[in-house]
Structure 1
Amino acid sequence: MRTPSPDSSRPLLAASAVLLALAAQNIGAAFAKQLFPLVGAEGVTALRVGISAAILLALWRPWRRLPSRQDARNLLIYGLGMGCMNLFIYHAFARIPIGIAVAIEVSGPLSVVLFASRRPRDFAWLACMVMGLTLLLPITRHASALDPVGVLWAIGAAVCWALYIVFGKRVSHIESGHAVAWGMTAAALFAVPLGVSHAGSALLSPVILLTGLTVAVLSSTLPYSFEMMALRRLPRRVFGILVSAAPAIAALAGWLILDERLGLQQWLAIALVMFASAGSAATTDRSAAAA
Structure 2
Amino acid sequence: MRRPELPAPLLVLMSIASVQFGSAVARTLFDDLGAAGVTLLRLAVSAVIIAIVTRPALRAWSGAAWRAAAVLGVVMAGMNLIFYLALRTVPLGLAVTVEFLGPLLLSLVQTRRVLDLLWAALAAAGVLLLGLAGGGNAPLSGLMLAFVAGLCWAGYIVFSAKLGGLVPGTGGLAVSLAVAAVLVLPFGAGGASAVLDRPVLLVGATAVALLSSVVSYGLEINALRRIPTRVFGILMSLEPAAAAIAGLLVLHQRLGVVEIVALVAVTAASAGVTLTSRA
TM-score range, shorter chain: over 0.9
Query: 1:39 aligned to 29, 33, 36, which one?
Result: 33
Instruction: Note the 1:82-231 alignment, pairs <5 A.
Output: 82-136=76-130, 139-141=131-133, 144-173=136-165, 174-196=167-189, 198-199=190-191, 201-204=193-196, 205-231=198-224
Contact 1:47 1:192 in 2 (8 A): no
Paired residue for 2:20?
Answer: 26
Kindly provide the amino acid, as one letter, of the partner of residue 240 in structure 2: P
Kindly provide the amino acid, as one letter, of the partner of residue 80 in structure 1: V
Paired residue for 2:74?
Answer: 80
Between the aligned partners of 2:241 and 2:97, the Cα distance in structure 1 is 8
Between the aligned partners of 2:181 and 2:164, the Cα distance in structure 1 is 20
Q: What is the CA-CA distance between 1:47 and the residue it aligns to?
A: 0.9
- CA-to-aligned-CA distance 1:65-84 (integer Å, 9 cap, x gap): 54222222221111111111
- CA-to-aligned-CA distance 1:118-170 (integer Å, 9 cap, x gap): 2111111111111121123xx21575242122112101101111221222232
Q: Is 2:235 the partner of 1:242?
A: yes
Q: Cα RMSD (Å) of the superposition?
A: 1.8
In structure 2, the gaps of 5 or more residues are none
Q: What is the CA-CA distance between 1:232 and the residue it aligns to?
A: 0.8
Give secondary structure in 2 for the equivalent of 1:40.
helix
Kindly provide the amino acid, as one letter, of the partner of residue 258 in structure 1: L
Between the aligned partners of 2:192 and 2:13, the Cα distance in structure 1 is 36
**Following superposition, which runs of at least 4 residues in structure 1 exceed 6 angstroms of deviation?**
none
Contact 1:15 1:230 in 2 (8 A): yes
Between the aligned partners of 1:35 and 1:152, the Cα distance in structure 2 is 22
Q: What is the CA-CA distance between 1:171 and the residue it aligns to?
A: 1.7
In structure 1, the gaps of 5 or more residues are 1-5
Paired residue for 2:54?
Answer: 60
Paired residue for 1:3?
Answer: none
Between the aligned partners of 1:277 and 1:77, the Cα distance in structure 2 is 26
Between the aligned partners of 2:133 and 2:62, the Cα distance in structure 1 is 53
Kindly provide the amino acid, as one letter, of the partner of residue 144 in structure 2: L
Between the aligned partners of 1:117 and 1:234, the Cα distance in structure 2 is 21
Q: What is the CA-CA distance between 1:109 and the residue it aligns to?
A: 1.1
Give secondary structure in 2 for the equivalent of 1:95.
coil
Between the aligned partners of 1:187 and 1:275, the Cα distance in structure 2 is 32
Query: 1:69 aligned to 60, 63, 75, which one?
Result: 63
Between the aligned partners of 2:133 and 2:199, the Cα distance in structure 1 is 47
Which segment drifts farther, 227-236 or 64-73? 64-73
Contact 1:49 1:192 in 2 (8 A): no
Kindly provide the amino acid, as one letter, of the partner of residue 236 in structure 1: T
Q: What is the CA-CA distance between 1:176 and the residue it aligns to?
A: 3.5
Kindly provide the amino acid, as one letter, of the partner of residue 38 in structure 1: D
Contact 1:53 1:181 in 2 (8 A): yes
Between the aligned partners of 1:120 and 1:76, the Cα distance in structure 2 is 36
Q: What is the CA-CA distance between 1:217 and the residue it aligns to?
A: 0.6
Q: What is the CA-CA distance between 1:200 and the residue it aligns to?
A: 5.4
Contact 2:134 2:140 in 1 (8 A): no
- CA-to-aligned-CA distance 1:198-235 (integer Å, 9 cap, x gap): 32530332111111011111111110111111111111
Contact 1:240 1:281 in 2 (8 A): yes
Label 1:54 to 1:143 Cα distance change in 2 as closer, same or farther (>3 A).
closer
User: TM-score of the superposition, structure 1-length normalised?
Assistant: 0.89
- CA-to-aligned-CA distance 1:46-70 (integer Å, 9 cap, x gap): 1110000000111111134542222
Which segment drifts farther, 70-79 or 246-255? 70-79
Give secondary structure in 1 for the equivalent of 2:40.
helix
